[in-house]
Every structure is written in C-alpha cells, then in structure tokens.
Amino acid sequence: MRFVDVAAESANPLIPHTAELVVGAIAFTLLFLVLRSKVVPMFEKAFAARTEAIQGGMERAEKAQLEAQNALVQYNDQLSKAREEAQTLREEARVQGVAIIDELRTKAQEEATRITASAHASIEAERQQAITSLRNEVGSLAIQLASKIVGEALDDQARQSRIVDRFLDDLEKSK
C-alpha cells in the first residue's frame, strides 16, 4: 500500500515546470537560430551547386551533341556538293573530249581532202606538161626521122607543125 502513497505524493506529470518551460524555449530558439543561419543555407548551397552541376553537365552534353550533329550535316552537305561537282566536271570533260575529237577528225579530213586535191592538181599539171613536151619532142623526132627518110627538107615551119599535128591526131584516133 505504500507505493500508492508515494504516487499520491508525486506531482501531476501534466503540470509543467517553469524552469523547464524557460529552458525548453531558450534551447529550442537557440538551436533554431543556429540551424537557420549556419546549417540550412550551407545545405541549400550544396543542393543548388549539385543541381547546377548536373544541369550544367547535361546542358553541355546537349550542346556538344548538337554541335556534332551540325558538323555531321555540314560534312555530309559538303561531301554531296563535292560529289556533284565532280560529276559535273566529269560530264563536262566528256563533252569537251567528244567535241575535241570531232573537231580533230573534221580537221584531219579537211586536211586529207586538201592534200588529195592538191596532189591531183599537181599530177594533172605535170601530166599536161609531160604531154606538151612529149608532143614537141615526138614532133621534132618524127620530123627529123621523116626528113631523113624522105630526104627533103621540110623546113617550112607551118607545114611542119600541120603535119605533126595531123600525125598525132591520127595516132590518137587510132588508139
């Protein structure tokens, strides 16, 4: 039964002590001020720096990727342009080559024609010359022969020529 008395003697646990109220308020306020001024800003700083670092890294990576993509597009562009250029160059060269060959061929043909023509002309001229000289020589030779055979001077020039001509004409006709 003793402990009942002891319990009755003890203070009601729901009644606060003044000292504890004061200390509680002071201690809590103190802790609040310390944490608010020293701890929270530092943690927030760390959080912000971390977020910044992660976001910055991601942004940088994105930027690099974009740049790489741009470069790739540019290179592809340049490559296709170069290909086109080469293609046109080849085409042009081909066309030019064909033209040059054509031109050369025409020129050669012309030259050949010209040479042939001049050759023909000179041949003709030489033939005419040969004919003329042959006629003269044949005439004088024949007359010499005839005068020797006939023994008669046939020194009349006009007669000589007539006779020779007639002889030659006959000769040609008989051919």
Spell out, one character per residue from 87 to 106, where the chain touches another protein: x when CB under 8 A holds, - when not.
--------------------
Q: Assess 149 for contact with another protein (CB under 8 A).
A: no
Tokens representing residue 158 in the block: 């006009």
19 lines the binding site for another protein (CB under 8 A): yes
| Residue 15 beta carbon to another protein: minimum distance, rounded to whole angstroms | 8
Are 142 and 164 spatial neighbours (Cβ–Cβ below 8 Å)? Answer: yes
**CA nearest neighbour of 166 among 132, 144, 139:** 139
| 45 scored as a contact of another protein (CB under 8 A) | yes
102 vs 94: CA distance, rounded Å: 12
CA 108 to centroid of chain Cα atoms: 33
Cβ proximity of 111 and 140 under 8 Å: no
- 50 touches another protein (CB under 8 A): yes
**In the complex, which residues of this chain contact another protein (CB under 8 A)?**
2-3, 6-7, 9-17, 19-21, 23-25, 27-28, 30-32, 34-36, 38-40, 42-43, 45-47, 49-50, 53
